[in-house]
Each structure stands twice: as C-alpha cells, then as structure tokens.
Structure 1
Amino acid sequence: MDTRKLVDPALLPVLDVFPTVALTDELLAPMREAERFAQLPVTIPQEVRDGVAQAVRTVPGPAGAPDITLTIYQPRNATAPLPCIYHIHGGGYVGGSAAQLEPLHRPAAYDLNCVIVSVDYRLAPENRFPASIEDCYAGLAWTFANASALGIDTARVGVMGESAGGGLAAALALLARDRGDYKLAFQHLIYPMLDDRTCVVQTPNPVAGEFIWTPHNNRFGWSSLLGHEPGVDDVSPYAAPARATDLKGLPPAFIACPTLDLFIDEDIDYAARLGRAGVAVELHVYPGGFHGFDIFGGAAPISNRARQDSREALRRALSA
C-alpha cells in the first residue's frame, strides 16, 4: 500500500532527503563507513560545549569478550551526585554508534543536568546474540561500580534507546531485574525494536513500515542478531523483549512510536502488557510519523512535540 498520503505533511520533505535503503550483507561495510562521518543535523551551542564535558572510556567487556567503549557526558561544576541516563544507540542491531549521537546527548545532559553514558556494543551479524546485550550489561555494571567517581546517584539510573537501542534497553531492564545486581529507575523506549515475530505475523499492519525501516530490513536485522530466521520458537526475551512472559517488577516505562512505524503494533502491545503487569507506563502514539521522524524531522511540529514529550518525561524520571 502507498502510505505516503498518511504521512504528516510537514514530514514529507524528509522522505526525499532520507530514501529507504534495503539492507544486505554487501551493504553493511559501506554503510558503517558512512556512519563514521555522519552528523545529525543539530548544532551544539557553545555554552553547551563549555558546560558539559565529554570523555571516551574503554572498559572491561563481558568475561572472555573484548573491551567495550563508553562515551560519557558530564555537566561541569556539579555540586551533588547527578541522575544518569544509560543510553543504547540504534541501528537495527547491525549498525550505528554512540559517537553519532553527540549532537543529541551533550545538549540533553546540559538541559536535564544529568550524566549520560552511551555504550558501543558489538554488532551483528559478526557478533550474534547474546553479544550485544551482554556488552550493554557490562557497561551498566561499570557505570554502577564507578558511580562515585562519575558523580552519579545510583538511585536515579535509567536506560534509554531508540529502535534497536530501545529493544536493547528493554532487554537490559529485563536482564537487570532477573540478575538482581542493579535496580533501574526507568526505561525510556523510543520506537523500540522488541519482537522478531513481527517478521512473520500472518496479518501484518497494512500501513506500517513503508518508510526507512521496512519489513525486509526488519528480517535482515533480526536474522543477523539471532543467527537464524526470526519467528521460531525459543527465542530469548533478552534478544526479543516481547517474548518475555513475566513483566512484573520492571521499572516504569515511557514508550513512544509513530503510527507508520513498523514497530507500532508490537510497541502498543508491550505497553499494554506492562500496564497489566502493574508497571507504570506512559505511551505516546504520533499519527503520521514514521521511523526516525523525531530525529530527522527538523522543525516539523510533530517532531518538536515528540522531542518535547520525551524530554519532559526524562525530566520527571530523573527527578523522581
């Protein structure tokens, strides 16, 4: 179905600038190389650069695995321990990096007066599940262990991510709950990639997934992560959080997704299941938006509204 007529009119120019690309094994290397030099269309004011320090740290990875890299943003001249957002980047499990998000992270740390720790995890298909989630867990463990030196209040540490990063953030909330070593204050999920079964659903959403992140790319991403076709039995909930049967005891959740995003149905379902499990959940649905609309939508009112909703929810979660 041609769903362009359903796109918010203010977002239509974005589709001409960011065409949909079909991922393949051959495309991964040039895509990742291009990402090394990609910059989000956001200018960081000088007062923000002066007010927030950036550090890149190499820290121990999971046992027997390579070290991982954390990018840390710390407001200067903090007089007391600050809350922390532990952030996980997106990229369909096969791409992306923490460095790309500096134009978003440094201003957020400044505006919210919080520390942001962003993890670079091993990418698929070279590194199958559970490499990425275990890298994320190792980075979280290092963050808690070094909270005093980083000026972090461990009672106010939450996880956040977009797309595949949102899926990993949800999985990390499950893993932290089940291992019992760290208590998270919140999970902030932006169009999270939660359910491999979306690839094989018998009646797919007829208006979702035409733009940016398509059913083809979704199958490619999940197959790369899992090492086999998606939708089979016995997929771990730490790979696909929607597979979890017990959602009790998870931290409060913020979930946002636009109506034309391939993940809309799985995200709404996950929010409903969290609510039924007694987890406080705030769900935002944006009509006429597509995957990445908040990041690439510029001054479009719908994009501004989504960014503002996200920022205010973070402000509330960090101050709780």
Structure 2
Amino acid sequence: MTYHLDPELAAWAAALPKADLRDLSATREGERQTVASLPGYEAGNKLLVTDQVITGSPDVAVRTYVRAAEGDDTRPRPALIALHGGGFVFGGVHSMEPRARMLADLTGILVVAVEYRLAPEHPYPAGLEDAFAVLQWLAGSGAESLSVDPERIGVWGESAGGGIAAALTLLTRDRSGPALAAQFLDAPTVDDRLATHSMRTLTGTPMWDAANSPLSWEQYLGAAAAPGTAGVPLYAAPARAATADVAGLPLARVTTYDIDPTRDESLAYALKLMAAGVPTEIQHYRGAFHLAHMIPGTGIGARMLADTVAAVRNTFGV
C-alpha cells in the first residue's frame, strides 16, 4: 500500500528506528536512546519537577511537573495523570518528558507521569492497578499536599498508555473510586483482536509496526487470556466494552493518525463513546503516522502539540 505522508514526516520516516519486540532488551534500550537524542522542551516558566514514590502494594514511582510559581499557591489546580506508550512492554516516565513539561508550562496544571509496571515481567492488570493506585493517591492525600482539585483530575495516555487510560476510566467508575473529569486518549491501543482494516493493511509503518501488535498483546495479557479469545477482560482491552458499558464515562478527546495501524480501533472506540452519550471530540491528522508529534521541528507536529494544549486548557478552564 502507498502511504501519503506529510512531506516533513516523510523526510523522517526512513531514519526512525524499527522496534522489534522479539528482542525486548534491545527495544527498551533503543527507545531510551532515541528519546534521549530528541530535543528537550524549553519551558518559559520555571518548573518544579519531582520524583517520588507512592507507597502501596507495590509502591509506584511518579514524576510530577508544575510551574514553580504555582508550587506555593494553595489554590486547588487541575491535574493530569500521564501514562506513556510502548506497547505495554517498554518506555517510562522519560518517554513523555517533553510533553509533560510543555503541558505543565503552558497550562499551569499539575502533570503526574506514572512509572507503571511493564509486561511481560508484570502482565495485566499490573500497569492498570498502578494507574488506579496513583489516581486514589492524587484524589486523596496527594490532592492536599499538591494543591489539586480532586474534581478536576483527568487522565492522558499515549498509545498503550492510552489503552490503560481508557481502562482506568472504566475501572474507577466500576469500583466507585475517584471520579475522573476527562480522558485524553492519544492513539489508544484498545483492541486485542487486531481485526480492523488499518491493523490488517497498514504494515511497516513508522513509529509502530503492526507486526509487533500480536506479541505486544500476548505479553500484556499473560495468563489472563489469549489475545482474540472471548476471555479477554474489557479492562485489558476497552474495545471489548459494549456501548452500554461506556455510558457515563468522562468527556473524551481521542487523537488518531492517518498512517497508523491503531487508527481504526481508536476511531471505533471514540464512536462508541459518542453512541453512549459521552461528550467526545475526535482529532484526526491526515498524512501522519503514530504519535508523529514526537518528531521535532515539523509544522504538523507543532500543530498537534498546540491542539493538545488548547484541548487541556479548554477542558479545565485554565
């Protein structure tokens, strides 16, 4: 299939490293090196960036970002829980560092990036439970210590992190946990069945290759169920949820990319939210590949990031 990439992104496509989940150690190290080689975000405001551990069973490490000027401000502020991508098996808080800094700098909200446990060492539901533990902390003792408004906490996830973010909205509702005010799902990985048109036809694409998807889901699901079978829980693969299951979830912004195997499952999930009456916005980028905003110096990438900032500001009124 011929891909019609944005010209600036096309210039990068061939140079991007190819992840191969059959060699997970090399993939993890390659991702770290790639992220480290990209330009950082230069904040216009001084930021307080803090690493801490949320004690529990087990402990969960987080990195928080907030403007220094707001660090001593006791007025409650909105917060976003940030969940990185990486096919459920690689990545970390470092993966979202520039964008977490950007959102804290330009919106004044608190961003909490989660170092959730990765498969295959820690398969489902480990990463999801880590995210839920952070939400409980942030809406409880963390809200007081960090001056967070517990009624204005959202979740933001990229790729696999977007899938966990979608699952978190379901899980906290069904457990009568802290309510989330919004979900920002960026190319969310939500469907283990791998049967969509984009997953079947968009192969060899930059940033995420559909060839990695079967192994990603196998490693994430572990002993819970085989991918594609009836036993896969909807908290693992939110696309499994019926329309009635997603009714009452928080407002959503779903970002999709034209040349991306996860495109159609993300769009289908957004449409399901709409059908259930969830206020939902879809932002689709023509000529773009998976998480193309990570590529520095492109006009389309700058527009994507500006759109994200605007969506967060509009959602939280900041």
**For structure 1, which runs of at least 5 residues remain unmatched after alignment?**
none
Answer whether contact 2:43 2:105 (CA < 8 A) is retained.
Answer: no
| CA distance in 1: counterparts of 2:309 and 2:37, whole angstroms | 18
Partner of 1:76: 68
TM-score of the two chains, using structure 2 as the length reference: 0.91
* 1:309 aligned onto 2:301: no
2:197 and 2:40 map into 1 onto residues whose CA distance is: 44
Call closer, same or farther: CA 1:265–1:202 in 2, change over 3 Å: closer
**Residue 278 to residue 214, structure 1, CA distance change in 2 (3 Å):** same
Q: Are the equivalent residues in 1 in contact too, given 2:190–2:239 (CA < 8 A)?
A: yes
Distance, in Å, in 2 between the alignment partners of 1:12 and 1:77 is 40
Matches within 5 A, 1:62-211: 65-78=57-70, 79=73, 80-145=75-140, 146-198=142-194, 200=195, 205-207=200-202, 210-211=205-206
Shift of 1:22: 2.5
**Aligned equivalents of 2:240 and 2:275: distance in 1?**
15
Cα pair 2:106 2:309 within 8 Å, conserved: no
**CA deviation string 1:20-76 (max 9, x = no partner):** 33221xx2123323444542623333643xx21011111124xxx421101011222
Query: Following the alignment from structure 1 to structure 2, what is the Cα–Cα distance between the partners of residues 283 and 156?
Result: 21
**Whole-angstrom distance in 2 between the partners of 1:265 and 1:238:** 19
Q: Find the aligned partners of 1:46 and 1:271 in 2 and give their Cα distance.
A: 32
Distance 1:204 1:98, change over 3 A: closer
Q: 2:42 aligns with which of 42, 45, 50?
A: 45
Q: Which amino acid aligns with 2:185?
A: L
**Which range is displaced more, 38-47 or 102-111?**
38-47
Question: What amino acid does structure 2 have at the position aligned with 1:116?
Answer: V
**Aligned partner letter, 1:14:** W
In structure 2, distance between residues paired with 1:88 and 1:57: 16
CA contact (8 A) 2:80 2:111 kept: yes
Cα RMSD for the two superposed structures? 1.9
Between the aligned residues of both structures, percent identity stands at 37
Deviation string 1:60-98 (CA, Å, 9 cap, x unpaired) is 24xxx4211010112223232111011111110000000
In 2, the alpha carbon distance for the partners of 1:44 and 1:209 equals: 29
In 1, the alpha carbon distance for the partners of 2:256 and 2:18 equals: 18
Amino acid at match of 2:60: I
Aligned length: 309
TM-score (norm 1): 0.91
Letter matched to residue 210 of structure 1: T
Residue 94 of structure 1 aligns with an amino acid whose one-letter code is: V
- Kept in 2, the 8 Å contact 1:171–1:237? The answer is yes
Q: Provide closer, same or farther for how the CA distance between residues 202 and 229 of structure 1 changes in structure 2, counting only shifts above 3 A.
A: farther
1:208–1:260 CA contact under 8 A, matched in 2? no
Gap regions ≥5 residues in structure 2: none
Q: Secondary structure at the match of 1:14?
A: helix
1:60 aligns with 2:70: no
2:241 corresponds, among 234, 241, 244, to 244
2:107 and 2:130 map into 1 onto residues whose CA distance is: 26
What per-residue deviation string (whole Å, max 9, x for no partner) do you get for residues 195-232 of structure 1?
Answer: 1112x458955246633312221111111001254111
**Conserved? CA contact 2:172–2:178, under 8 Å:** yes
**Which amino acid counterpart does residue 76 of structure 1 have in structure 2?**
A
**Contact 1:60-1:138 within 8 A present in 2 as well:** no
Q: Aligned-pair distance for 1:19?
A: 3.3
8 Å Cα contact 1:253/1:281 also seen in 2: yes
